[in-house]
Amino acid sequence: GASTVTEIGVIGRPSILVPLAIAMDDHQTGNARVLADAGAAAIIAEKEFTEETLRDALSPLLSNPARLAEMARAARGRIRHGASQTLADLIEGVATVARKSAA
């Protein structure tokens, strides 16, 4: 899910993603699409995932180190540095407002 997509971006690795088909609102496909649209990942739909589709996705990547390097750069480029702190600041701000409203 989102954690996997984030980890891929943090470590900057090319990937082949197989989103979980039963995920609520197909959110895993949306998360995977962010990396795929950036050129950092390939997606194989779970219902289409077979040894053959995996081989078909892997073969052109493994034979092209330059493409793998491009995908790795694209993955790193998707990460918003400082996002954890931004989220923590947002939560603290909301909590402060809620405390003041409750007082």
Give Cβ neighbours of residue 62 (< 8 Å, ≥ 6 apart).
68
CATH of 2-102, one of 3.40.50.720, 3.40.50.970, 3.30.565.10, 3.40.50.2000: 3.40.50.2000
Where residue 50 falls among pLDDT bands split at 50, 70, 90?
A: very high
Q: Which residue has the higher pLDDT, 86 or 16?
A: 16
d(CA 53, CA 15): 14
- Give 57-77 pLDDT, tens digit per residue: 999 999 999 999 999 999 988
pLDDT surpassing 90 at residue 5: no
d(CA 65, CA 102): 58
Predicted local distance difference test score (pLDDT) of residue 13:
94
Where residue 42 falls among pLDDT bands split at 50, 70, 90?
A: very high
